[in-house]
């Protein structure tokens, strides 16, 4: 019983340490991590779009993998949006992230639409029906919009990061 209590204390201590470290991370580093969390999904999103565009028939396992990847990207987008929403007033006034917030919410909407559509498509992806063809065509039309919005989002976030870097460098020079 004593060993079990020691393990629980160790797990609790280990769990609490990242929370304390997260608060001490500088703003620029937090923003960079969130940006790269979103931007690193570019190839995954492109490959998923290519699979739906090229393949005439999909397997349920492919649909499930696509849903998981899109859900992970959506989670990262929501984290970035929450991070920008909770900026202190001085940082908000300095960075003016309103365009990024708008495009992040639009990307979140498109990702949710893609996830729901693929989830509807998964059970019927092996059958030969008109509904399957219509859903597959809808997914094929959805992905180019999703990719374009993703690229716009990443470029807006990169511009926001460079603006923060320039402001930080100018402040450091003083």
Look at residue 171 in the predicted model and tell me its pLDDT.
62
Query: Is the CATH number 1.20.120 carried by domain 26-173?
Result: yes
Q: What CA–CA distance (Å, rounded) separates 131 from 64?
A: 19
Query: Quick one: tokens of 135?
Result: 């859903």
Q: Interhelix angle for 27-39 vs 130-173, to 10°?
A: 150
Taking alpha carbons only, the member of 56, 67, 52, 63 closest to residue 128 is 56
pLDDT reported for residue 9: 44
Phi, psi of 129 (to 5 degrees): -140, 165
Residue 148: predicted pLDDT: 96
87-90 long-range contacts (CB < 8 A, ≥24 apart) are none
- Separation of alpha carbons 51 and 140, rounded Å: 10
Per-residue pLDDT, 42: 95
pLDDT at residue 16 in the model: 46
For residue 172, what pLDDT is reported?
A: 59
Q: Is residue 156 within 8 Å of residue 107, measured between CB atoms?
A: no
Q: 27-58 b/e with 16+ CB inside 10 Å = b?
A: eeeebeebbebbbebeeebeebbeebeeeeeb
Residues 6+ apart with CB under 8 A from 163: 95
Q: CA 146, CA 115: separation in Å to the nearest integer? A: 12
Look at residue 61 in the predicted model and tell me its pLDDT: 94
Question: What pTM does this model have?
Answer: 0.80
Q: What pLDDT score does 7 carry? A: 44
Predicted local confidence at residue 139, as pLDDT: 95
Give the pLDDT of residue 174.
55
pLDDT tens for the 174 residues of the chain, in order: 444 444 444 444 444 445 544 457 888 888 899 999 999 999 999 999 999 999 988 999 999 999 999 999 999 999 999 999 988 888 888 888 888 999 999 999 999 999 999 999 999 988 889 999 999 999 999 999 999 999 999 999 999 999 888 877 766 555
In whole angstroms, give the CA distance from residue 154 to residue 139. Answer: 22
Q: What is the DSSP string of 97-166?
A: THHHHHHHHHHHHHHHHHHHHHHHHGGGTTS--HHHHHHHHHHHHHHHHHHHHHHHHHHHHHHHHHHHHH
């Amino acid at each position: 019983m004593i060993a079990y209590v020691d393990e629980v204390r160790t797990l609790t201590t280990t769990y609490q340490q990242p929370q304390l470290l997260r608060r001490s991370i500088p703003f620029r580093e937090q923003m960079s991590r969130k940006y790269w969390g979103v931007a690193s999904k570019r190839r995954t999103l492109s490959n998923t779009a290519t699979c739906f565009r090229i393949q005439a028939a999909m397997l349920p396992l492919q649909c499930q993998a696509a849903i998981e990847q899109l859900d992970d990207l959506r989670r990262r987008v929501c984290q970035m949006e929450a991070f920008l929403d909770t900026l202190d007033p001085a940082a908000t006034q300095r960075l003016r992230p309103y365009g990024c917030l708008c495009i992040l919410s639009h990307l979140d909407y498109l990702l949710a639409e893609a996830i729901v559509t693929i989830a509807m498509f998964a059970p019927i992806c092996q059958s030969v029906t008109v509904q399957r063809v219509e859903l597959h065509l809808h997914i094929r039309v959805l992905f180019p919009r999703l990719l374009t919005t993703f690229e716009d989002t990443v470029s807006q976030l990169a511009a926001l990061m460079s603006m923060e870097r320039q402001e930080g460098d100018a402040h450091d020079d003083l």
